[in-house]
Structure 1
Amino acid sequence: MRRVGTVVRTAGGLAIARTEAGAEPPRIGSSVVDESLATVGRVVDVFGPVDRPYVAVTPNDDDLAALVGGKLYAR
């Protein structure tokens, strides 16, 4: 399991996470979990600067606001 990053905002029904500096972003389609290992959703896009990209996650739940500020991990 790898750390994806921290959710910085929501947009268009997606959770947007910022990766850690120097960390390799997860592959599109990867399953994403939170700190309690509950499945949050799937990676649908990786975008932004190469050294610290953003990751867009399609959440399984409608409560996107609860994800903001939380850390996400890829399986």
Structure 2
Amino acid sequence: MPPSDVSRAAEHEMCDIPTAARFLGLLDYREYGPGGEPSVAWFDTELGQDLRLARDFRAFVEGLTCDPGDEMPL
């Protein structure tokens, strides 16, 4: 999707998850509209490319894993 289309789509069909980089995590409503369950996508703002990470937020959360080297001791 070209960058101009992304900014327009973001206003109406996506909810961004703020980051401090050129990448955005998005709740993407393009497929089902505002009344549907959004998929979770990763968007590169410089390249204008998006990648679907999960079919919905629940699948995204259930698919999260922890890197054993990053675990905090209890």
Give the structure-2-normalised TM-score.
Answer: 0.32
Give the structure-1-normalised TM-score.
Answer: 0.32
Give the helix-richer structure, 1 or 2: 2
Give the strand-richer structure, 1 or 2: 1
Which protein has the larger Cα radius of gyration, Structure 1 or Structure 2?
Answer: 2
